């Protein structure tokens, strides 16, 4: 009798779980989207994957570590660690070092219009036609550096982003009475 | 008239009006140099209309509004444009920004202007354009282009109340008070213009009850004017009752919806200094080139109110008040609650500058020694926006900015009440300013990364499509090859090539 | 000319933790004086031991935690904690009771939770509860109020009682008694009626002999804090209202076995708790509505513990339990922000 009751109970629970699996099915792979949302979308490939999305996929599959994204830096690693519930760790130096975001600027005098940089740009932020000088759309440039190596005349430089009043940030006050540096 | 009460505030804040309020407004002489930052208002920077070397006259437009939310700039005196370059601007960042510098010639020649005999003959849109062309922005400190507030035609809204803000709640500042004491009649004329433009039923001119003599002069002007729709009202002196939202609550009991504007509840609120500028522009035909500024604090020899040309460098202003005293320690633009400290005194005063406070050491504190929050809740009791500053602080200091935003961080008006009452001396408002600006930057970066993601994905799709198309083409070719015997095809190709050769040799011959 | 910059507001703060704590200390004075008058010098010993231990423990913990010592010790929060604990302890406790209590309060209940501003539970009440559970016998030895003492309070007797050799048993019995709340609970358990119980000499016209004046003295001090706006009315009124409503309901329902509201309000730690303990800002609710609810819950729970619990007095346990509910109370009592529906 008790065996019968147990079977009934388990069957009931099984149906419930099965129903829940269908009813609350999550579309897509949310963890990849969540990881992708945390990544800086520089698409620079410094993580050894061809873009942020592939890196997110690799992290989700357990094929890559969370400390391979130099543009995201320590803050990005902390956010990933938080998201995935793992320990944060320092940035892997093999992937690069954390630097301020720059934008590519093409010296239009020198540019020969070879189109190589256009093909290299992961976010289509370079405009230009063959044999005509090219230019970078500053607001779309992620500062990934990928256009630098292909340029045969080395006319592309990385320059700091001009500070604007609109994006000026107030200082954060010191948090009171932290442990004094010993 | 029934009055309401907003939450908290500081009823017993030391006023410090006596220092500057007793001397009459003095009209300042022409300074040697006038500096005009192109962005003195909320919105787009103005576009210069002059070149280096150009001669300009007083009242001549030297920069034009760019886009709807913007304002033109007019020269304050005659002289020569000497530079169009970056100059330090009055901003807490200490940044420089594009500015026009004029070397004055001392002649103070004026461009012609036409007074208006009867503004009622003009249409509302003509009046709006006069006010816009005069470069008038909110002179209470916000510097929002006034014409937009008054442009009632283009929007489907109904304004029933016009509020004239004469409640100068910040300590030390007395420029609006002096204006109302001396020129109440002209302010009243300005109110008539605004009532005519807005079609509002009533106008309420509100001042704090700590200046009864000013109220008497307002009452006299109201009686003389005779328009029954205009009322002068005294409201309790509670900082920050001069804040737009707090004043609206005090006078009408209504609250401006979060993220909205007063017009959403049928109210337009305008500072009395701005009303005076409107009167000058509409009735006298003069653009905004000067304003009244309080120069005060223990750091200046003769604290007083000056009517100064906009663009005058601060050191010239201080000279007009007999210079610095040895106690001058901090240079603050605006009041001690919401103003900001300036790095040096070569910075010009702009349209929004209502006060220059040269504070001594004990008038302006330096870094506070902050202790941990003890959750006493005094900040919440003092907050005129009914926020919970201690919780906002908690999230701001730990950079959980989205949580702070959810707790309505952006409803904070940065009045500083919580700072002053905090027993732990935590710089709360600075935390909130930081959190707000960091959120703005964060949202901007989020936007950039979203754009980059979108473009990256679009590119991936395009590359994949191209590849697929190429593969499809080569597959078709191969299929075509297969369908015909290969030999035949090759022979056909050889024949074609021969023919071509023949044709070309024929052509040559 | 160049100037230094800093950020608004530039006006000096009007308040400080030290100032608030000083007012609390000042407001406790009427209560302290009355307690010494009614219960003798044991109170003074408790205060000296508790406060000095608390301050030393505070300094030691700050040192160990690498925090600046002077600004934190001079905020006087440790003094207030020590003093509140001292006033809650029985008047003839051996010296190690206040000593251990102060250490528990400062080291465990305050600093191990992160120090000033971070402790979720009221340190003095945690210490009191730990002592109550660990040393129940020593925690119930109260002197008789001085009017009932056979020969008045002797400093030397009290001294020998606190430091080492207790006097002869007869002397102890002559000097000590159960508190009115304790006596009430015990006798009610023996099926006596309230009016029979209250005819005993340790009960006065309002509550307990001596105790009623102590409670009134705390009430006076509490009103001073309210008047000086160091505390808001919400918590004390909430606590007293909670206790009053509960006791009134049962007093009207079953007067024979339920002491009057006056007895409850003026007995034990009700006044001290309502004005000085529950109002500890760190562990109380922060919203105004939340504070009132917090107070009412403490008052009601105090009545429940006094009436049906294992201990005669319930303030300490009620405060600690409701401390736990503070995040929840705060979450559900957020005020409506200006311009929001």
What would the 3-class secondary structure string for B68-127 be?
CCCCCEECCCCEEEEEEEEEECCCCCCCEEEEEEEEECCCCCECCCCCCCCHHHCCHHHH
Residues of chain B with Cβ-Cβ distance to A138 below 8 Å are: none
Q: What residues pair up with B99 in beta bridges, in sequence order? A: B37, B85
- pLDDT band (50, 70, 90) for residue B1: confident
Least CB-CB distance to B434: which of A122, A125, A171?
Answer: A171
- If pLDDT is split at 50, 70 and 90, which confidence band does A47 have? confident
Query: What gap in Å lies between CA A39 and CA A33, rounded to an integer?
Result: 10
**Cα distance between residue C7 and residue B430, in whole Å:** 7
A179 pLDDT tier (thresholds 50, 70, 90): very low
Q: What is the pLDDT of residue B154?
A: 59
- CA-wise closest residue to C251 among C202, C184, C296: C184
Which tokens in the block code for residue C238? Answer: 């909430």
Dmax of chain C from CA atoms? 86
Pairing of strands B161-165, B96-104: unpaired
C-alpha–C-alpha distance, residues C93 and C77, integer Å: 24
Task: Measure in Å the smallest separation between the Cα of C86 and chain A Cα atoms.
Answer: 29
DSSP string, A36-63: HHHS------TTSSSSHHHHHHHHHTTS
Which residues 29-68 of chain B have a CB within 8 Å of chain A?
Answer: 39
Quick count: other Cβ atoms within 10 Å of Cβ A96?
16
Q: How many CB pairs under 8 A join A and C?
A: 14
SS3 state at C204: coil
Q: Kindly state the helix (H) or strand (E) to which residue B308 belongs, with its residue range.
A: strand B304-309
Q: Is-contact C143 C176, C-beta < 8 A?
A: yes
End-to-end CA distance of chain A: 71
Average pLDDT over every residue of B100-104: 95
For residue B295, pLDDT over 50 is answered with yes
- The pLDDT score that the predictor gives to residue C139 is 85
- pTM for the complete prediction? 0.87
* Gap between the Cα atoms of B263 and B158, Å rounded: 8
B216: CB partners within 8 A, 6+ apart: none
Element (H, E) at B294: strand B290-296
Chain C nearest-CA distance from B374, in A, is 4
- Check if B368 contacts A (Cβ < 8 Å): no
> Mean pLDDT over residues B148-177, rounded?
87
Contacts of C66 in chain A (CB under 8 A): 179-180, 182
Q: How far is it, in rounded angstroms, from Cα B403 to Cα B266?
A: 32
Determine contact, residues C88/C82, Cβ cutoff 8 Å.
Answer: no
Which residues of chain C are within 8 Å of residue A179 when distances are taken between CB atoms? Answer: 65-67
List A residues 99-128 in contact with B (Cβ-Cβ < 8 A).
122-125
| Token pair 């001290």: residue | C272
The pairing of beta strand B61-64 with beta strand B290-296: unpaired
| Sheet order of strands, B355-359 included | B26-27, B304-309, B290-296, B355-359, B330-333, B340-341
| Confidence band for B155, pLDDT divided at 50, 70 and 90 | low
Least confident of B73-82, B173-182, C248-257: C248-257
For residue A172, give the chain B residue with the closest CA: B434
The closest alpha carbon to A35, from A81, A87, A96, belongs to A81
Q: Is the peptide bond before C9 cis (omega within 30 degrees of 0)?
A: yes
- Closest by CA to C12, choosing from B427, B335, B372, B420, is B420
pLDDT at A122 over 60: yes
Q: With 90 as the cut, is the pLDDT of residue B421 above it?
A: yes
Which position has the token pair 């207790």? C166
Chain A: residue nearest B451 by CA? A140
Using a CB-CB distance cutoff of 8 angstroms, which residues of chain C are in contact with residue A182? 66
The Cα of C334 is separated from the nearest Cα of chain B by a number of Å equal to: 8
pLDDT at A138: 84
Give the per-residue pLDDT at C156.
64
Report pLDDT digits (tens) over C88-140.
998 888 899 999 999 999 999 999 999 999 999 999 999 999 999 999 888 87
pLDDT the model gives residue B146: 93
- DSSP reduced 3-state for B300: strand
Sequence-distant (6+) residues with CB within 8 A of C9 are B336, B337, B338, B416, B419, B420, B429
Rg, C-alpha atoms of chain C: 21
Residue pair B345/B314 in contact by the 8 Å Cβ criterion? yes
Q: How far apart are CA A49 and CA A34, in angstroms?
A: 17
| Residue the block writes with tokens 């592309």 | A156
**Predicted local distance difference test score (pLDDT) of residue C256:** 83
* A179/C67 CB distance under 8 A: yes
The pLDDT of residue B250 is 95
What pLDDT, in 10s, does the model give residues C238-289? 999 999 999 999 999 888 888 899 999 998 889 999 999 999 999 999 999 9
pLDDT value at A2 more than 90: no
Chain B touching partners, 3 or more CB pairs below 8 A: A, C
User: Average pLDDT, stretch C200-226?
Assistant: 88
Please answer yes or no on whether A176 and B97 come within 8 Å at the CB atom. no
Least-confidence region, from B34-48, B184-198, B351-365, C202-216 = C202-216
Per-residue DSSP letters for B436-485? HHHHHHHHHHHHHHHHHHHHHHHHHHHHHHHHHHHHHHHHHHHHHHHHS-
Residues in chain B with CB shorter than 8 Å from the CB of A175 are: 397
**Least confident interval from A96-105, B160-169, B351-360, C41-50:** A96-105
In chain C, positions 48-67, which contact chain A (CB-CB < 8 Å)? 65-67
Task: Assess whether the previous peptide bond of B23 is cis (omega < 30° from 0).
Answer: no
Cβ-defined contact of B456 to A123 (cutoff 8 Å): yes
Contacts of B338 in chain C (CB under 8 A): 8-9
Q: In chain C, which residues have their Cβ closer than 8 Å to the Cβ of A170?
A: 7
Show the tokens assigned to C219. Answer: 């009430």
Predicted confidence (pLDDT) at residue B422 exceeds the cutoff of 70: yes
The pLDDT value given to residue A181: 38
- Mean pLDDT on A93-112: 84
Gap from C178 CA to chain B (nearest CA, Å) = 37
Task: Give the Cα separation of C224 and C229 in Å (integer).
Answer: 8
Which token pair is C33?
A: 């004086």
Q: Please give the residue that has the higher pLDDT: either C245 or A167.
A: C245
> What is the mean pLDDT of the segment spanning C137-149?
78
From the list A170, A180, A182, the residue facing C68 with the nearest CB is A180
Would you say residue A180 has pLDDT above 50? no
Is C7–B340 a contact, with Cβ atoms under 8 angstroms apart? yes
Distance CA(B467)–CA(B458), nearest Å, equals: 14
Supply the DSSP symbol for A161: P
- Taking the CA atoms of A122, A125, A129 and A135 in sequence, report the sign of the dihedral they define: negative
Question: What sign results for the dihedral spanned by CA atoms B147, B153, B154, B157?
Answer: positive
Grouping H, G, I as helix, E, B as strand and the rest as coil, residue B343 is coil
For B285, the 3-state DSSP assignment is coil
Chains that touch C (3 or more CB pairs under 8 A): A, B
Pairing of strands B79-88, A126-127: unpaired
User: Which residues in B lie closer than 8 A to residue A42 (C-beta atoms)?
Assistant: 452
**From B147-161, B193-207, B239-253, C69-83, the region with the lowest mean pLDDT:** B147-161
From the list C66, C71, C72, the residue facing A179 with the nearest CB is: C66
A partners (3+ CB pairs within 8 A) are B, C
Residues A158, A162, A163, A166: what is their CA dihedral angle, to the nearest 10 degrees? -120
Average pLDDT for chain B:
91
- CA B17, CA B8: separation in Å to the nearest integer? 22
How do residues B363-407 score in pLDDT, each as one tens digit?
A: 988 777 889 999 999 999 999 999 999 999 999 998 889 899 999
Q: What share of chain C is helix, strand, coil (3-state, %, to 5)?
A: 65, 0, 35
CB B173 within 8 A of CB B335: yes
> In the structure encoding, which two tokens stand for residue A178, read together?
């932290």
Burial class (CB in 10 A: 0-12, 13-18, 19+), B32: middle
Task: Please write the tens of the pLDDT for every residue from C13-36.
Answer: 888 999 999 999 999 999 999 998
- Beta-carbon separation of A182 and C66 below 8 A: yes
For residue B508, the model assigns a pLDDT of 54
**Once rounded to an integer, what is the mean pLDDT over residues C68-77?**
91
Distance between B346 CA and the closest CA of chain C, angstroms: 8
Interface of A with C in 162-181 (CB under 8 A): 170-171, 173, 177, 179-180
DSSP string, B183-219: HHHHHHHHHHHHHHHHT-SEEEEEEETT-HHHHHHHH
List the beta bridge partners of residue B86. Answer: B98
Nearest CA in chain A to B367: A173
Q: Is the pLDDT of residue C319 over 50?
A: yes
Query: Does A42 contact B at CB distance below 8 Å?
Result: yes
Residue C330 burial (CB < 10 Å; 0-12/13-18/19+)?
Answer: buried
Residue A71 near chain B (CB below 8 Å)? no
User: Do A41 and A142 touch, CB atoms closer than 8 A?
Assistant: yes
Q: What is the pLDDT of residues B199-242, one digit of tens each?
A: 889 999 999 999 999 999 999 999 998 888 999 999 999 999 99
Residue B110 near residue B58, CB atoms below 8 Å: yes
């Amino acid at each position: 009798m008790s065996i019968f009751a147990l079977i009934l109970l388990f069957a009931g629970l099984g149906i419930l779980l099965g129903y829940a699996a269908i009813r609350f099915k999550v579309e897509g792979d949310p963890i990849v989207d969540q990881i992708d949302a945390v990544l800086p979308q520089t698409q620079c490939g410094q993580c050894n994957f061809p873009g942020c999305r592939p890196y997110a996929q690799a992290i989700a599959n357990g094929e890559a570590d969370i400390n391979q994204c130099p543009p995201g830096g320590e803050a990005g690693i902390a956010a990933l660690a938080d998201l995935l519930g793992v320990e944060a760790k320092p940035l892997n130096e093999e992937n690069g070092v954390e630097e301020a975001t720059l934008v590519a600027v093409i010296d239009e005098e020198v540019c020969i219009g070879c189109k190589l940089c256009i093909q290299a740009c992961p976010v289509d932020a370079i405009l230009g036609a063959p044999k005509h000088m090219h230019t970078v759309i500053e607001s779309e440039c992620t500062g990934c550096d990928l256009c630098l190596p292909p340029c045969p005349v080395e006319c592309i430089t990385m320059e700091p982003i001009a500070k604007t009043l609109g994006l000026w940030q107030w200082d954060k006050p010191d948090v009171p009475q932290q442990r004094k540096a010993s | 008239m029934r009055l309401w009460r907003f939450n908290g505030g500081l009823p017993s804040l030391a006023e410090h009006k006596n220092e500057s309020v007793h001397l009459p407004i003095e009209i300042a002489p022409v300074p040697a140099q006038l500096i005009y930052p192109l962005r003195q208002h909320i919105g787009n920077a103005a576009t210069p209309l002059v070149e280096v070397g150009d001669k300009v006259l007083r009242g001549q437009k030297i920069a034009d509004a760019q886009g709807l939310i913007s304002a033109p700039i007019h020269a304050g005196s005659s002289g020569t444009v000497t530079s169009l370059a970056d100059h330090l601007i009055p901003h807490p960042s200490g940044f420089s920004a594009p500015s026009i510098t004029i070397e004055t010639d001392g002649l103070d020649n004026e461009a012609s202007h036409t007074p208006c005999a009867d503004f009622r003959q003009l249409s509302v849109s003509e009046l709006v354009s006069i006010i816009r062309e005069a470069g008038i922005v909110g002179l209470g400190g916000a510097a929002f282009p006034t014409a937009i507030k008054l442009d009632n035609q283009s929007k489907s809204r109904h304004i029933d109340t016009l509020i004239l803000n004469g409640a100068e709640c910040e300590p030390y500042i007395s420029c609006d008070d002096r204006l109302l004491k001396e020129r109440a009649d002209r302010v009243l004329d300005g109110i008539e213009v605004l009532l005519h433009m807005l079609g509002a039923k009533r106008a309420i001119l509100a001042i704090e009850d700590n200046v009864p003599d000013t109220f008497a002069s307002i009452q006299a002007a109201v009686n003389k004017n005779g328009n029954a729709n205009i009322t002068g009202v005294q409201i309790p002196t509670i900082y920050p009752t001069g804040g737009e939202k707090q004043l609206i609550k005090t006078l009408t009991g209504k609250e401006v919806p979060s993220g909205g504007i007063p017009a959403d509840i049928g109210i337009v609120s305008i500072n009395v200094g701005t009303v005076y500028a409107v009167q000058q522009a509409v009735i006298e035909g003069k653009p905004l080139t000067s304003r009244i500024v309080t120069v005060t604090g223990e750091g200046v020899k003769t604290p007083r109110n000056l009517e100064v040309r906009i663009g005058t460098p601060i050191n010239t202003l201080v000279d007009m008040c007999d210079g610095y005293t040895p106690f001058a320690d901090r240079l603050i633009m605006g009041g001690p609650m919401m103003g900001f400290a300036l790095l040096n005194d070569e910075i010009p005063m702009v349209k929004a500058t209502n006060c220059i406070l040269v504070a001594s050491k004990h008038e302006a504190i330096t870094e506070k020694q902050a202790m941990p929050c003890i959750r006493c809740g005094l900040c919440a009791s003092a907050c005129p926006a009914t926020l919970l500053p201690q919780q906002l602080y908690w999230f701001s200091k730990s950079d959980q900015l989205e949580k702070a935003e959810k707790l309505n961080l952006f409803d904070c008006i940065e009045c500083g009440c919580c700072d002053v009452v905090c027993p732990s001396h935590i710089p709360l408002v600075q935390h909130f300013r930081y959190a707000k600006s960091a959120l703005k930057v964060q949202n901007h970066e989020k936007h950039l990364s979203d754009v980059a993601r979108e473009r990256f994905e679009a590119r991936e799709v395009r590359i994949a499509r191209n590849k697929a198309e190429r593969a499809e083409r080569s597959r078709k070719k191969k299929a075509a090859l297969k369908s015909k015997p290969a030999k035949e095809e090759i022979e056909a190709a050889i024949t074609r090539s021969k023919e071509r050769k023949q044709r070309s040799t024929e052509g040559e011959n | 000319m160049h100037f230094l910059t800093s950020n608004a507001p530039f006006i000096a703060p009007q308040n400080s933790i030290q100032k608030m704590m000083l007012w609390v200390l000042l407001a406790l004075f009427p209560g302290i004086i009355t307690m010494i008058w009614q219960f003798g010098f044991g109170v003074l010993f408790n205060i000296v031991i508790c406060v000095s231990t608390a301050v030393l423990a505070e300094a030691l913990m700050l040192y160990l935690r690498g925090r600046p010592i002077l600004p934190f010790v001079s905020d006087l929060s440790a003094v207030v904690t020590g003093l509140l604990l001292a006033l809650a302890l029985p008047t003839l406790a051996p010296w190690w009771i206040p000593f251990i209590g102060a250490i528990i309060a400062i080291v465990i209940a305050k600093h191990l939770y992160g120090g000033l501003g971070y402790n979720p539970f009221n340190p003095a009440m945690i210490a009191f509860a730990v002592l109550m559970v660990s040393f129940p016998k020593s925690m119930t030895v109260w002197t008789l109020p001085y009017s009932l003492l056979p020969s008045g309070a002797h400093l030397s007797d009290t001294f020998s009682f606190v430091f080492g050799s207790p006097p002869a048993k007869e002397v102890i019995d002559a000097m000590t008694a159960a508190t009115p709340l304790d006596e009430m609970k015990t006798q009610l358990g023996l099926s006596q009626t309230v009016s029979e119980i209250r005819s005993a000499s340790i009960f006065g016209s309002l509550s307990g002999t001596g105790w009623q004046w102590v409670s009134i003295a705390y009430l006076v001090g509490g009103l001073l804090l309210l008047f000086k706006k160091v505390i808001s009315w919400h918590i004390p009124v909430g606590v007293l209202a909670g206790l009053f409503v509960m006791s009134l309901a049962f007093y009207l329902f079953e007067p024979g076995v339920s002491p009057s509201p006056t007895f409850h309000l003026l007995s034990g730690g009700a006044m001290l708790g309502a004005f000085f303990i529950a109002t500890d800002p760190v562990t109380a609710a922060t919203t105004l509505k939340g504070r009132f609810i917090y107070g009412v819950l403490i008052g009601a729970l105090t009545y429940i513990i006094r009436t049906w619990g294992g201990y005669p007095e319930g303030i300490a346990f009620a405060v600690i339990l409701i401390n736990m509910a503070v995040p929840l109370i705060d979450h559900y009592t957020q005020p409506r922000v200006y311009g929001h529906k």
